[in-house]
Amino acid sequence: MSKNAATRDTTDRPDSWSSPGGRRIAITGAASGIGLAAALAAIRAGDEVWALDRDEAALRSLASQVPDGLLHTVVIDVTDQQSIAAAFGPISESGGLDVLVNSAGIFPRARLDEVSLDHVARVHAVNFLGAVGCTLAARSALVARSGRGPTGGRSTIVFLTSAAALVKLAASEFQRGFAAYGASKAALDRWVVGVAPEFDAEGVLVSLLCPGAIVATPGVVNVLSEEERVNAVSPRQVVAALGELTFDRLERPNGARLLATDYGTVWGAATSGV
């Protein structure tokens, strides 16, 4: 990453994942990317993590990186209701959940002459219906644990979303080929905001986290222009913002949609609220 891009990382403050330990956290898409980084951060903080992903080999790799005791790896297909039920049933029965992070997602690129209905359906099945399915399956576990975990706060759910969901950005050159992806995230945004009052009544705090810029992972940085590098957000900052949202310690409305690029300036640890 270029020096300028690095200036977007404002996470030189106390670890946003710091906790008394002992929280019970489920993370989908935990074998790679932001989900993997979140899983490792939570384990370092002393939390018990259920890492859910369809990539069994990558889950084994994750397990080899951490000490025994705090990690449970679970193979899941978020497009299959039976697989979801089989994954979350034991979690609920063993003591409930303090946090659910919906990070699983796909973003295949396909321009109009390459698009099929199967392509659109697959993207929505993972990005929208998968997140909804996992949330519904985890709901009773989150409600049961709310206010009873080690922090005493409400249980929380964090959904990873994207600026691609915004209509005002849909026609930009960078978004060409990602119409299905953007539509799936727009559907997710609308659903989360719509059900937030009902979760609020059950003592569960839900949030949407949007990176706010291209996430400068090693594979992505190599194909970015200099301008895109300057405006990129570091994975570390996204994970720091995500960590903050796993706690019930900010004054924010239920269903808030926040940008990782604003973490520490507009909202978060360095501010007085949202």
CATH number of residue 160's parent domain: 3.40.50.720
User: What is the reported pLDDT for 87?
Assistant: 98
- The residues that are catalytic are 181
- Closest listed residue to residue 47, CA positions, set 14, 74, 16, 25: 25
Domain of residue 233, residue span: 3-20+99-262
User: What is the reported pLDDT for 25?
Assistant: 98
Kindly list the distances between the CA atom of residue 216 and the CA atoms of 157, 179, 234, in Å, as whole numbers in the listed order: 24, 21, 5
User: What is the reported pLDDT for 220?
Assistant: 64
User: How confident is the prediction along the chain (274 residues), in pLDDT tens digits per residue?
Assistant: 333 333 344 444 446 887 788 999 999 999 998 999 999 999 999 999 999 999 999 999 999 999 889 999 999 999 999 999 999 999 999 999 999 999 999 888 888 899 999 999 999 999 999 999 999 999 999 999 999 999 999 999 999 999 878 887 767 776 777 889 999 999 999 999 999 999 999 999 999 999 988 887 655 666 567 877 777 888 888 999 999 999 998 888 999 999 998 998 899 865 544 5
For residue 110, being part of any structural domain is answered with yes
For residue 161, being part of any structural domain is answered with yes
Structural contact between residues 110 and 119, judged by C-beta atoms closer than 8 angstroms: yes
Q: What's the chain look like in SS3? A: CCHHHHCCCCCCCCCCCCCCCCCEEEEECCCCHHHHHHHHHHHHCCCEEEEEECCHHHHHHHHCCCCCCCEEEEECCCCCHHHHHHHHHHHHHCCCCCEEEECCCCCCCCCHHHCCHHHHHHHHHHHHHHHHHHHHHHHHHHHHHCCCCCCCCCEEEEEECCHHHCHHHCCCHHHCCCHHHHHHHHHHHHHHHHHHHHHHHCCEEEEEEECCCCECCHHHHCCCCHHHHHHCECHHHHHHHHHHHCCCCCCCCCCEEEEHHHECCCECCCCCCC
User: How many C-beta neighbours within 10 Å does residue 262 have?
Assistant: 17
For residue 77, being part of any structural domain is answered with no
Would you put residue 151 in left (φ > 0), alpha (ψ -120 to 50) or beta?
alpha
User: What is the reported pLDDT for 144?
Assistant: 96
Structural domains of the chain, count: 1
For residue 189, being part of any structural domain is answered with yes
For residue 55, being part of any structural domain is answered with no
For residue 56, being part of any structural domain is answered with no
For residue 190, being part of any structural domain is answered with yes
For residue 74, being part of any structural domain is answered with no
